[in-house]
Amino acid sequence: MRKISLSNLDKAFALIAENAKLYIPVDGKGGASFKLWQEGVKMSDALNTVRSAKDFFFPQMETLMEFKTEGKNIEIIDNRQEKEDFVVFGVRACDVKSFEILDRVFLSEPVDSYYASRREKGVIVSLACGRPSETCFCKTFGIDAANPAGDITAWKTETDLYLLANTEKGEKLLSAISSITEDCDGKAVEEQKKQISAIMEKLPLSNVTTEKFGAGKTKEYFDSPAWDELSSHCLGCGTCTFVCPTCQCYDIKDFKTNEGVQRFRCWDSCMYSDFTLMAHGNSRASQKERFRQRFMHKLVYYPDNNDGMFSCVGCGRCLTKCPISMNIVKVMKTLGGKEND
């Protein structure tokens, strides 16, 4: 394990930024967000960014290809390019786990080359959560806020930042800043881990369990009368899907430019009425059906297809952002019954 004094953090950032684009969480008007580090940019102390870190690998909008059309002719232009090396610093345990969940979708055959090339170039430096909040329930999904994964795991104390490489990519990055870090024992880290675990135990959502959910539960929950009540106030705004680190549904659309046509991919939401709309009808015509799809996907369908892994990391963003205060915890408590309360 290495450590660096917080007063030297800017120097470390400068060293990292020499070889790769470096993104860190930065405070802004609407809360924290990942921003490109430059001289003078300070790291946020916020527990988490408003939007998740999924943008780094699955951006909200990206061009897939271009076309030139003239009369009856079409030219297909594959303008994919080698991506640049980049480092994302300060990713929380929940968001780090979300990459594993997205990997199962985008890196399964046929591999999504756009996602894969970013995954290949990105280095993740995670940051343990010193102060998990009352909307956090990562523990429900087996995530340890005190010991996040990633290429490097970092722990921040009052005075120092402790760094532990978990992968070859991580080792390489650590060696690049070795001149301003020093070897250390893990005592301070162990102490912080204990403190974080103690906080996690006391959090209001610490008793939410996944026991009642997972693979093979479609029949049990699909026709539950509870969906009517749960979905009755849903506005279909899609905010939950946009802030969600694991929501991965996308749309592909064409945009006519002056030069030709750009085919782009953008985030989509199963909460929207036109998501499944076809010329002859809609397979999920009501908001109840769309609402049910989102939660069944996270709690049952995704586990069905991914060895029981859930498609939620308990980051709590949907709890704070939903305009009608509906969220996955309420769904789990209602469907799972009293035992889950």
Partner 1 sequence: MINETLIPKLGVITEIRQDTPDIKTFRVVSPEGKKLFEHRPGQCAMLSIPGIGEAMFSITSSPTNTEYMEFSIKKCGCVTTWLHAAEPGQNVTVRGPYGNPFPVDDVFAGKDLLFVAGGVGLAPLRSVINYCRHYRDRYGKIDIVYGSRSKDDLLDYQEIINEWATDSGVNVHLTIDREQEGWDGHVGFVPNYVKELGFDTNKIAVLCGPPIMIKFTLEGLRSLGFEKTQVYTTLELRMKCGVGKCGRCNVGSKYVCKDGPVFRFDELDELPNEY
Q: Are 215 and 315 in contact (CB under 8 A)?
A: no
Question: Judged by CB under 8 A, which stretch of 42-50, 132-140, 173-181, 268-276 contacts partner 1?
Answer: 268-276
Q: Does 85 bind partner 1 (CB under 8 A)?
A: no
Q: How far apart are CA 305 and CA 72, in angstroms?
A: 42
Q: Which residues pair with 89 in a beta bridge?
A: 125
**280 vs 338, beta carbon nearer partner 1:** 280
**Cβ-based nearer residue to partner 1, 60 or 222:** 222
- Can you tell me whether residue 293 is helix, strand or coil? helix
Helices and strands per DSSP (H, E), number in the chain: 12, 14
Smallest separation, CB 97 to partner 1 (Å): 19
Nearer to partner 1, 78 or 201 (CB): 78
Contact 11, 180 (CB under 8 A): yes
Show contacts with partner 1 in window 237-256 (CB under 8 A). Answer: 248-254, 256
Contact status: 261 vs partner 1 (CB under 8 A): yes
Contact 116, 106 (CB under 8 A): yes
- We find the least distance from the C-beta atom of residue 213 to partner 1, in angstroms, to be 13
Distance CA 288, CA 226 (A): 10
With contacts defined by CB under 8 A, name the span among 35-43, 104-112, 142-150, 320-328 that binds partner 1: 104-112
- CA-to-CA distance for 93 and 76, rounded, in angstroms? 41
The backbone torsions φ and ψ at residue 83, rounded to the nearest 5 degrees and listed phi first, read: -85, 160
Burial of residue 104 (number of CB atoms within 10 Å: 0-12, 13-18, 19+): middle
**What percent helix, strand, coil does the chain show, rounded to 5?**
35, 20, 40
Binding-site string for partner 1 from residue 113 to residue 132, where x marks contact by CB under 8 A and - marks none: xx-xx---------------
* CB nearer partner 1, residue 80 or residue 187: 80
How many angstroms separate the CA atoms of 251 and 61, rounded? 10
225 near partner 1 (CB under 8 A): no
- The answer to whether residue 304 forms part of the interface with partner 1 (CB under 8 A) is yes
**Binding region for partner 1 (CB under 8 A) out of 44-52, 158-166, 174-182, 260-268:** 260-268
The binding site for partner 1 (CB under 8 A) comprises 64-65, 67, 69, 72-76, 78, 80, 82, 105-106, 108, 110-114, 116-117, 218, 222-223, 248-254, 256, 260-261, 263, 265, 268, 270, 275-280, 283-284, 289, 293, 296-297, 300-302, 304-305
